[in-house]
Amino acid sequence: MKMKKLLIGLLVSAMLLSSAACSGTKEESVGGANKETRTVDGNELDAEQYINSYLFGDPSTLDSIKLSDSYGTTVLMNIMEPLTRLDEESGENVRVGAGAESWESNEDGTVWTFKLRDNKWTDGQPVTAQDYVYGIAQTVNPESGSPNSYFLTDIKNAEAIINGDMDISELGIRAVDEKTLEIELEAPASYFLAMTDTRAMLPVRQDLVEKYGEQYGAEADTIVSNGPFMLESWTHNSEIVLVKNEDYWDAGNVYLDKVDWKILNDESTIFNSFDNGSIDHCETGTSEWIDKFSEKEGVLEVTYGDPTVRFHLFNTKDELFQNVYVRKAFMLTFDREDMNETIYFDTKIPAYGWVPKSVTTGDLGEYRAQVDEPIKAMQDDPQELLLKGMEELGLGDDPSQLTVKINFGDTSQWTRNYGEYLQQRLKGVLGVNIELETEEWGSFQNRTNSGDYQIGYMQWGSDYNDPMAILSIIDAIPTSWENQEYNDILKQAAQELDEKARVELYAQAEQILLDEAAVSPVIYMKVIQFKYEYVKNLQETSFNTMGFKKVYTSGR
């Protein structure tokens, strides 16, 4: 009897809580709070709410300090609560409060104050500002050896601490009180908010790290969560299962009771699994599968830009590629439309700029919609450019005397085909001889870092949603290209708080980069996702960091 009363009491309070929490969405209940008749945005929710998804690899760890892959980030965005999250409304990204309910910066944008919400860890402890301080500071701390420390170099003294010149206690971050977090930056950084939902700024429980030591986050039972879901089990290299976290501050707006990720790293297995409904959605770039699934009944195709650019890099210390005309000649020889058609079967986007599609600048929306792609306006004849460069270098006027080597950090059949495609194109247009070399990434990285190459091939994704992410990594690309003006403009852009002026500066920097042709972008990546119609609210933009928080199924 007593049990029953208690149960009713719990149900009533759960009802109250959920109706109080759902003020933001158009959720209505028909006939009381009966789960079976809940509707969201006019869709009737299925009685059983679960999603079957997949990860392409096993997360290296779920300790956000040591984590080095995107699989783990995907899981963490569902089980941890970042300060903010990036949501989407009709295809546009909107930053919303998550762990923080509000935030503000001082006038010049150097001090950010985050007011935290009342939220709980799954072991019942309250989430405090100190948890965020610990997670961020340990990522910077050189003793942790975190591969993510480079995300945080904008925080005051972070650079010096990473370099070992200053103690970790000097880091510009502090918990003002239990619920207030203050972060001081080295200089104004207009894009700073975009860092607050990366893995480098997640909260970490100091007491648990001290309890479990190196094992923290390596297994399901050595980590606790404070996000929409919690870990139920983690079978390495096989499956990760999450269940809804009932103590989550916004639990009333979380619909799924269960998230089941299978770890699948074989393409045909993934597609077979989607085909027979074992998983509810999948991504693909393979044209046969695209053809097949786009005709499949009950399946929707969703495509959106992936903020990743594939490019060729030139060694500007090389005796041939030290010349800007030579570099530009190669850059303009690539036929990006044809490449997209022939190599990618129209599944990607030809790239005429350095900043990929889908990167946005605050309220102004997509960067690429505001700034024209520089290479599109370059009408020079590649062969003339090459001859001009050869003349400057004193190499005569016969391109067929030149042999240029292209190096690849991947040995797959696709890469070889791509190499041969380039070989044909470059020989046909420029008349130069092309040699190809493929090797594993590790060896390739070593080679390019030591400057032992002429042309390389890489791809790079944006770590956060701002053109700065991709513009600033030029530093880390081993082209030996240095340009003071470029660096100055980026520095100025970082401190420019007016968005319009900032976009203008980014455009200038991008123009310089491509006028100098230190790198030659060729393709922007694109996500082609298939999902069954019953899956609702799945992300449709790349930077979305909501995870499965808003996802539900209707009509499964």
Does 487 help bind other proteins (rule: CB under 8 A)? no
Residue 445 CB, nearest approach to other proteins (Å):
6
Does 297 help bind other proteins (rule: CB under 8 A)? no
From candidates 34, 268, 403, 417, binder to other proteins by CB under 8 A = 268
Alpha-carbon gap, residue 413 to 117, rounded angstroms? 51
Cβ count within 10 A of residue 359: 26
Residue 405 CB, nearest approach to other proteins (Å):
17
Does 216 help bind other proteins (rule: CB under 8 A)? yes
Alpha-carbon gap, residue 377 to 352, rounded angstroms? 9
From candidates 23, 169, 276, 484, binder to other proteins by CB under 8 A = 276
**CB nearer other proteins, residue 95 or residue 262:** 262
From candidates 24, 142, 365, 555, binder to other proteins by CB under 8 A = 142
Where does this chain touch other proteins (CB under 8 A) — which range of 105-113, 271-279, 374-382, 420-428? Answer: 271-279
Alpha-carbon gap, residue 320 to 110, rounded angstroms? 44
Residue 470 CB, nearest approach to other proteins (Å):
13
Identify the CA nearest to 117 among candidates 155, 74, 84, 77. 84
Alpha-carbon gap, residue 312 to 407, rounded angstroms? 10
Q: Is the dihedral of CA 100, 106, 108, 110 positive or negative?
A: negative
Residue 228 CB, nearest approach to other proteins (Å):
24
From candidates 135, 172, 188, 217, binder to other proteins by CB under 8 A = 217
Residue 150 CB, nearest approach to other proteins (Å):
5
Q: How far is CA 480 from CA 220, 279, 313, 461, in A?
A: 44, 45, 10, 20
From candidates 222, 465, 544, 554, binder to other proteins by CB under 8 A = 222
Residue 31 CB, nearest approach to other proteins (Å):
36
Where does this chain touch other proteins (CB under 8 A) — which range of 4-12, 33-41, 262-270, 331-339? Answer: 262-270
**CB nearer other proteins, residue 323 or residue 472:** 472
Amino acid identity of residue 326, one-letter, is: V
Alpha-carbon gap, residue 232 to 124, rounded angstroms? 16
CB 340 within 8 A of CB 348: yes
The string of DSSP codes covering 506-553 is: HHHHHHHHHHHTSEEEEEEEEEEEEEETTEES---STT---TTTT-EE
Does 286 help bind other proteins (rule: CB under 8 A)? no
Does 413 help bind other proteins (rule: CB under 8 A)? no
CB 327 within 8 A of CB 518: yes
Alpha-carbon gap, residue 403 to 523, rounded angstroms? 25
From candidates 25, 265, 287, 403, binder to other proteins by CB under 8 A = 265
From candidates 29, 125, 130, 278, binder to other proteins by CB under 8 A = 278
From candidates 219, 232, 283, 540, binder to other proteins by CB under 8 A = 219
Alpha-carbon gap, residue 489 to 508, rounded angstroms? 8
Alpha-carbon gap, residue 157 to 167, rounded angstroms? 9
Pattern of binders to other proteins over 383-412, x per CB under 8 A? --------------------------x---
Residue 200 CB, nearest approach to other proteins (Å):
11
Residue 158 CB, nearest approach to other proteins (Å):
11
From candidates 330, 460, 464, 543, binder to other proteins by CB under 8 A = 460
**CB nearer other proteins, residue 267 or residue 499:** 267
Question: What would the two tokens of residue 5 be?
Answer: 């009363």
Amino acid identity of residue 472, one-letter, is: S
Alpha-carbon gap, residue 345 to 512, rounded angstroms? 31
**CB nearer other proteins, residue 87 or residue 280:** 280
Pattern of binders to other proteins over 298-317, x per CB under 8 A? --------------------
Identify the CA nearest to 180 among candidates 127, 228, 248. 127
From candidates 258, 416, 427, 447, binder to other proteins by CB under 8 A = 447
**CB nearer other proteins, residue 353 or residue 409:** 409
From candidates 90, 169, 237, 379, binder to other proteins by CB under 8 A = 237
Does 445 help bind other proteins (rule: CB under 8 A)? yes
The string of DSSP codes covering 280-341 is: SEEE---HHHHHHHHHSTTEEEEEEEEEEEEEEEE-TTSTTTTSHHHHHHHHHH--HHHHHH
- The interface with other proteins within residues 32-61 (CB under 8 A) comprises 58, 60-61
From candidates 150, 345, 421, 534, binder to other proteins by CB under 8 A = 150
CB 122 within 8 A of CB 226: yes
Identify the CA nearest to 256 among candidates 555, 554, 548. 548
Residue 220 CB, nearest approach to other proteins (Å):
12
Identify the CA nearest to 59 among candidates 39, 42, 79, 45. 79
Site residues for other proteins per CB under 8 A: 58, 60-61, 63, 66, 68-69, 142-147, 149-150, 162-164, 214-219, 222, 235-239, 262-266, 268-269, 272-273, 275-276, 278, 409, 440-443, 445-447, 449, 459-460, 473, 476-478
